[in-house]
Every structure is written in structure tokens, then in C-alpha cells.
Homo-oligomer: A and B are copies of this chain.
């Protein structure tokens, strides 16, 4: 039966995360952005909410409640608070979900318990390549068999590189198709260079270079499905894009109601009011596309088309909405005393991020 109401449990989670985003994340967002640094204490605090751990199997200390729908609901709320911080908080999913879904028992045992413990342990996934024609489904990075090892060569970008992580999952083309490999951060031949990006300033990301990086044959996540992974990444990002758009929309809506020009609030002008209406409509439309894609994941059905459309639409909507928000604020939209300029910079990244979070 077609229904648009999250379960009561999901509503409770959303409410909790929204409050966390509002009272804990948002107040730190601008400072984190300007400093280009994550507020570390906040990550521990967020970890206590168990947002990722809850989706990990009970056998590894998790809550065993994996749901892409819950995932997108949470992702939107966190990103509404701040995109960089949201990506950081959910980064454990980047390691957890591919391993949980397709890893060997040994891999699970090795990686999952660490993510459900008392301490925040970040995850990392390297899918995007620093190339004009980067294609997440067809990596240029290669994994070559050499005796009992895999040897990896190539480069990746937009890899979350938060202190405390020990491994990174890497997509690479092997002779039998593209696969996912678990690479220690300190592997020989792997170098990480800090990135300076237009947006997501507070999230430490790295451009990785792999030069004959040698890992054991057991390091491949054998059953991994790169196509599915990327689509789950896209849908998670789409939800975050909607979160960013909603934040920009709300700020510009409130500004428009307060700011007066020519004797009345600018929100009473149709040019502004209709712009806000369009923003609201597009945000809701994109969100519903995302929900459907997430629902398909949870049903175990093919979500290729739905995820592609949701990602494409949400990226576009986030950019348009953030740009419109800057415009509504006028001169104030252009200065860093207000958040929309950051939303605009963040929003522009979605078209390229591909798998910077997972649901």
C-alpha cells in the first residue's frame, strides 16, 4: 500500500536527530567551516546516538536494524545541521555497510566490532577519481593479481580522511571486473594528500595515490557489488542534498519574513514569495524520489533507475535552492555571516561526490 508516513520508530529517530542537529551541530557549523576542522567532541557525542551502529548486525554489537529508509531520513536531518559534520558522523557506514553486506566473516570480525564500540571510529571509502571523466562504475584504478597478493595502482579523491581510521575501502578494476578492496591506511605505496575543496571545508578529505600498493588476496571484499554500492552512495548523498537545500530554504524564508524593504517584509513580494514556494516544492519532490529509491533497497529490488534519478534531481535541486537562498538574502547572502553561501558551495559538490556516504 502506498504510504508516505515513516514508522513511529523512524519518526522518533528523526525527531532525536533533528534536535541533535539543531542544538549541537548547527551552532558549530560556521566555525567548523571557517577553521576547516571537525569539532571532535561532537563526533563522539553523535556516536552515542548509535546511528550507524544501529544498522550493524547484532552479532557484531550492532542494533541489527538496517534500513535504507531510516538511513535517508537520518542523513537529511544531519545534513540539515551541517553537511561536513553529517558526512563525518556517518562515515563509519562507508566501511561498515560494504563489509557487512558482502564481506567475509574474517573481514566482518576484523572491522565491524570496532564500529559498534564506545569510541567513534571513522570509515573511509575511495570511489571517485581525480579525473575529468571519473566514472564510479568503471574505475581507472587497477587491482592486479601478483602471486597471493593484489597490487593496486591509481588515484582517488574525495576520500574522507578523519583521524582515527585505520583502513580504507577502495574500488579498483580487477581482471574479473571491478571490486572493492580493504587497504590499510599505512600501506606502503599509499600516499594521502589533503584536499582543499570549494565546500565541505570542515571535513578532512584526501586525494589518494596508489603506487604498487600490495595487499593480501584476502583483502578483497569478494561479493562486493560496486554498482549497488555507488547507488547506495548516491541515494545517501541525495538525502543530504535535500537536507542542505532545506536548511538554505528555511534560512531564506525566515530572512524574507524579517527583512524589510520599501516598507514591508520582502517575503510579501511575489518575486521572493514565489521563489520560496518553488524551493519548497522542489525539495519535497526530490525527497519523495529519494524515499522511493531507499524503499527499493530495503525491498531488495533493483534501484538503479530510481537511485540515478533521485541523485540527479536532488543534486540539481540543492544547487538551485542554495543559489536562490543566497539571492533572497541579497548582499547578506554573499557574506559568510550567513549560512547560504556555504550551502551553495556544498551543494555544488553533490554532482561529483558519488559515494561520500552510504545508506
Which chain A residues have a beta carbon within 8 Å of chain B's beta carbons?
Answer: 269-271, 274
Question: How far, in angstroms, from A181 to B269 measured CA to CA in the complex?
Answer: 60
Question: How far, in angstroms, from A274 to B278 measured CA to CA in the complex?
Answer: 15
- Chain B, Cβ-Cβ closest to A271: B270
Nearest Cβ on chain B to A276's Cβ, whole angstroms: 12
User: Which B residues lie within 8 Å of A274 (CB)?
Assistant: 270-271
Question: How far, in angstroms, from A269 to B274 measured CA to CA in the complex?
Answer: 11
- Chain B, Cβ-Cβ closest to A269: B270
Interchain Cβ contacts under 8 Å between A and B, 6 examples: A269-B270, A270-B270, A270-B271, A270-B274, A271-B271, A271-B274
- Chain B, Cβ-Cβ closest to A274: B271
User: Which B residues lie within 8 Å of A271 (CB)?
Assistant: 270-271, 274
Nearest Cβ on chain B to A328's Cβ, whole angstroms: 14
Question: How far, in angstroms, from A352 to B315 measured CA to CA in the complex?
Answer: 31
Question: How far, in angstroms, from A170 to B284 measured CA to CA in the complex?
Answer: 52
Nearest Cβ on chain B to A323's Cβ, whole angstroms: 16
Nearest Cβ on chain B to A88's Cβ, whole angstroms: 41
User: Which B residues lie within 8 Å of A269 (CB)?
Assistant: 270
Question: How far, in angstroms, from A274 to B274 measured CA to CA in the complex?
Answer: 11
Question: How far, in angstroms, from A269 to B270 measured CA to CA in the complex?
Answer: 7
User: Which B residues lie within 8 Å of A270 (CB)?
Assistant: 269-271, 274
- Chain B, Cβ-Cβ closest to A272: B270
Nearest Cβ on chain B to A279's Cβ, whole angstroms: 15
Nearest Cβ on chain B to A313's Cβ, whole angstroms: 21
Question: How far, in angstroms, from A72 to B100 measured CA to CA in the complex?
Answer: 67
Question: How far, in angstroms, from A128 to B271 measured CA to CA in the complex?
Answer: 42
Nearest Cβ on chain B to A266's Cβ, whole angstroms: 11
Question: How far, in angstroms, from A274 to B269 measured CA to CA in the complex?
Answer: 11
